[in-house]
């Protein structure tokens, strides 16, 4: 064995023994312990040196067979060596050359003492052998394991089928093998390892056998699919294999040894009374019918499964569930409620169920169980309340069943129809998953009771035509509903027409708030005196959405309706039309505002110019500017021909200015109002006078 491999064994043994714990802190000292270890042939051997103080100890590994520990404080110690190569065999220092297999009294170290622990491990027994098939062929690369008091180790056979555990501690161990294709592992045996010598234990794999058969319902001889069949050895209750019955009720379990087995049946749709039982229709393992298996042979075990009638047991409510053709339905969850649900029952393979409820008034509901829905790809049965001779989709339509004195009410038989299902995946625009809700409507917009859903939250519908509003939450936030598929109102929503068994897939996206689809707009002339009319625009949800309107000139509010008459003060200004959409109809208040800018035309102005000649080549001008009742502000430019002679500020539509040094003679003047934020420019008439 290589030195590296020996070191691995040393480390493993130290870990198994829990010995690589740091020893308790000791004051530095001057004592020394030297370990020198050899194997049975006298060769240095890898080992772990153990030093104990009281009940605590620590280990140090050596690959060379030598280890020295210095600086040991004065005190009482026990020393040992242990080797994985020797199956964890341990020798204690007792002052002799052979060491002791039992822990001696502590050794006292003091005053720079040196302990020399030189020891040779004795030759322990070895364990080896071969693994063959029952035909005599060696089995390579199969695992052989041993277990001693819960501690296991294993080796693999070589190309000749040989295994070798090397040196072994004496005592009882369990030995076993793995299995290979077509062959069953050797059964677990207990063997005794002697103190010395070579123990050979040959192991034999036997040809694998099998059990197959068909399971049918005893009530109607129909094959029972989906049964989990598990094989266990009869004498040791050891698990041996599992199979499931197919659509024909057939199963097959392979890789079994030559012994007696019992079968355990687990039926997810076996009802509440007996979902699990044993071969021979037995309730317990000990009473189960044994099935003998021979090596290399197949044993056939067919069985008629008996499902006890739940109504034969103590109950207060019982009945059956079937489809429209009268076939009994298994895996249907039956719930009784009086405002609080009682513990539910599940129908068996014969569609039977029973419940025990307290005295009082109860309503009974039937729906496909989660297990039944998960097992099938088709839409589940449409949930139904019990109502004698009627269809009851809601609790309000159900019969109230009065239980009194514990007397049973039987023959509560329900008939379920196949649903249509809409596999609608609801997400946010970012693709986050939404926990959906559904509000069902007629095509005319009348709201119906909320539809039931399957285990994935998809809505279930009876055949017909509908419109659907999707609601939901994501991350605890209520989202804005959306009409299926992508509409803002019931009128625009897609009409969904379904038949029983339909299962279309689609998707809906729910936003976190109200958003514009089409921006609001206005009509009317943007002039003083005209009426501007605004609309609400189009939003992603119109159902339940209300609108508020406003008009502003700058920051000043001037209107609070959709329509607004433009006044002179608006001339030349930019009006802001705002629509605030709000919706509080779905458990959260949503609100968003959209705006539109409207530029109002300026008003026309009128400019009047009067002139008076004064002595000394002066001319006095009087200017008047008017405009639709406004008090114009701005400037007027006065020209003599093309020559500007004055610019004058107009205040409240009036201005006066005297101009000097005008050329003598007959002259013509004209004034131009330069306009303002509200008024357009205007030109006065010509004024002619003689300058003196």
Q: What is the pTM of this model?
A: 0.70
| CA-to-CA separations, 608 to 612, 632, 671, 686, 688, in angstroms, rounded | 14, 13, 8, 10, 14
Q: Could you tell me where in the chain the CATH 2.60.40.1120 domains are found?
A: 125-207, 310-416
The burial class, CB within 10 Å (0-12 / 13-18 / 19+), for 18 is exposed
Question: What is the predicted pLDDT for the residue at 231?
Answer: 98
9 pLDDT more than 80: no
Q: Could you tell me where in the chain the CATH 2.60.40.10 domains are found?
A: 3-120, 209-305, 606-691
Region 551-559 average pLDDT: 97
- Write the CATH number of the domain with boundaries 516-599: 2.60.40
Where does the pLDDT of residue 58 fall: very low under 50, low under 70, confident under 90, or very high at 90 and above? confident
14 pLDDT more than 70: no
Question: What is the predicted pLDDT for the residue at 512?
Answer: 96
57 pLDDT more than 90: no
Q: Which CATH superfamily is domain 606-691 in?
A: Immunoglobulins (2.60.40.10)
- Write the CATH number of the domain with boundaries 3-120: 2.60.40.10
What's the CATH class of domain 125-207? Answer: mainly beta
Q: What is the CB-side half-sphere exposure of residue 299 using CA atoms within 13 A? A: 23
Region 118-142 average pLDDT: 96
% of residues, the chain, pLDDT over 70? 96
Distance CA 303, CA 245 (A): 12
Residue 375 has what DSSP assignment? H
Region 299-310 average pLDDT: 98
Question: What is the predicted pLDDT for the residue at 376?
Answer: 82
| CA-to-CA separations, 516 to 10, 542, 586, 589, in angstroms, rounded | 76, 11, 19, 17
Distance CA 283, CA 132 (A): 40
| CA-to-CA separations, 663 to 609, 618, 619, 659, 667, in angstroms, rounded | 19, 9, 10, 11, 8
Report pLDDT digits (tens) over 457-513. Answer: 999 999 999 999 999 999 999 999 999 999 999 999 999 999 999 999 999 999 999
Residue 452's φ and ψ, nearest 5 degrees, are -70, 165
Report pLDDT digits (tens) over 560-619. Answer: 999 999 999 999 999 999 999 999 999 999 999 999 999 999 999 999 999 999 999 999
Beta bridge mates, 533: 523, 563
Question: What is the predicted pLDDT for the residue at 27?
Answer: 54
Which among 139, 199, 209 is positioned nearest to 172, based on CA atoms?
199
- Write the CATH number of the domain with boundaries 310-416: 2.60.40.1120
CATH of 420-509, one of 2.60.40, 2.40.128, 1.10.3470, 1.10.760: 2.60.40
CATH 2.60.40.10 at 209-305, yes or no: yes
By DSSP bridging, strand 75-83 and strand 47-53 are antiparallel
338 pLDDT more than 60: yes
Of residues 417 and 376, which shows the higher confidence score? 417
């Amino acid at each position: 064995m290589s030195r590296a491999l020996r070191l691995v064994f040393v480390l493993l043994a130290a870990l198994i023994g829990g010995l690589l714990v740091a020893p308790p802190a000791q004051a530095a000292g001057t004592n020394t312990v030297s370990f020198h270890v050899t194997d049975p042939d006298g060769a240095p051997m890898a080992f772990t040196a153990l030093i104990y103080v009281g009940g605590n100890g620590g280990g140090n590994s050596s690959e060379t067979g030598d280890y020295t520990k210095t600086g040991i404080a004065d005190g009482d110690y026990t020393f040992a060596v242990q080797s994985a190569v020797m199956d964890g065999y341990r020798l204690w220092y007792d002052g002799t050359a052979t060491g002791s297999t039992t822990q001696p009294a502590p050794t006292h170290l003091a005053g720079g003492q040196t302990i020399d622990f030189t020891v040779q491990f004795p030759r322990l027994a070895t364990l080896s052998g071969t693994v063959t098939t029952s035909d005599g062929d060696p089995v390579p690369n199969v695992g052989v394991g041993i277990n001693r008091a819960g501690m296991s180790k294993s080796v693999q056979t070589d190309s000749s089928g040989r295994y070798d555990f090397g040196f072994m501690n004496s005592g009882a161990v369990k030995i076993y093998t793995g299995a290979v294709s077509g062959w069953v592992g050797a059964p677990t045996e207990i063997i005794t390892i002697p103190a010395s010598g070579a123990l050979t234990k040959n192991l034999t794999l036997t040809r694998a056998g099998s059990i197959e058969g068909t399971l049918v319902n005893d009530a109607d001889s129909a094959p029972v699919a989906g049964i989990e069949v598990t094989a266990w050895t009869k004498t040791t209750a050891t698990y041996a294999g599992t199979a499931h019955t197919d659509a024909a009720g057939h199963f097959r379990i392979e890789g079994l040894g030559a012994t007696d087995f019992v079968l355990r049946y687990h039926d997810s749709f076996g009802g509440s009374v007996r979902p699990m039982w044993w071969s021979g229709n037995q309730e317990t393992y000990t009473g189960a019918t044994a099935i003998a298996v021979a090596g290399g042979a197949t044993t056939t075990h067919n069985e008629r499964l008996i499902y006890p009638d739940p109504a034969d047991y103590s109950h207060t409510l019982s009945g059956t569930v079937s489809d429209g053709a009268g076939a009994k339905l298994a895996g249907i969850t039956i719930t009784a409620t009086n405002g609080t649900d009682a513990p539910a029952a599940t129908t068996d393979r014969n569609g039977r169920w029973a419940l025990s409820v307290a005295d009082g008034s109860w309503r009974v509901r039937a729906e496909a169980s989660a297990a039944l829905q998960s097992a099938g790809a088709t839409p589940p049965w449409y949930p139904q309340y019990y109502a004698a001779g009627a269809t009851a989709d809601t609790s309000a339509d159900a019969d109230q069943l009065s239980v009194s004195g514990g007397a049973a009410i039987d023959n509560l038989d329900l008939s379920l129809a196949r649903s249509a299902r809409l596999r609608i995946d609801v997400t946010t625009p970012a693709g986050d998953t939404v926990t959906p809700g559904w509000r069902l409507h007629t095509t005319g917009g009348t709201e119906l009771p909320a539809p039931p859903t399957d285990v994935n939250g998809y809505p279930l519908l009876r055949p017909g035509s509908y419109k659907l509003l999707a609601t939901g939450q994501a991350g605890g936030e209520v989202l804005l509903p959306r009409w299926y598929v992508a509409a803002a109102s019931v009128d625009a929503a897609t009409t969904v027409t379904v038949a029983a068994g339909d299962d279309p897939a689609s998707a809906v996206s729910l936003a976190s708030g109200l958003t514009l689809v089409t921006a609001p707009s206005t009509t009317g002339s943007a002039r003083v005196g005209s009426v501007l009319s605004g609309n609400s625009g189009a939003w992603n949800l119109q159902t339940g959405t209300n609108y508020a309107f406003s008009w502003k000139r700058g920051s000043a509010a001037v209107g609070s309706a959709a329509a607004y008459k433009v006044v002179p003060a608006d001339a030349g200004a930019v009006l802001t039309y705002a629509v605030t959409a709000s919706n509080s109809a779905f458990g959260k208040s949503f609100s968003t505002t959209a705006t539109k800018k409207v530029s109002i035309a300026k008003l026309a102005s009128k400019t009047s110019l009067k002139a008076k000649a004064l002595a000394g080549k002066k001319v006095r001008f009087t200017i008047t500017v008017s405009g639709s009742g406004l008090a114009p502000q701005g400037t007027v430019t006065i020209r003599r021909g093309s020559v500007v002679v004055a610019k004058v500020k107009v205040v409240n539509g009036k201005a006066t200015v005297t101009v000097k040094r005008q050329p003598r003679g007959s002259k013509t003047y004209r004034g131009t109002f330069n306009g303002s934020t509200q008024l357009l420019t205007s030109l006065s008439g010509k004024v002619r006078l003689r300058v003196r």
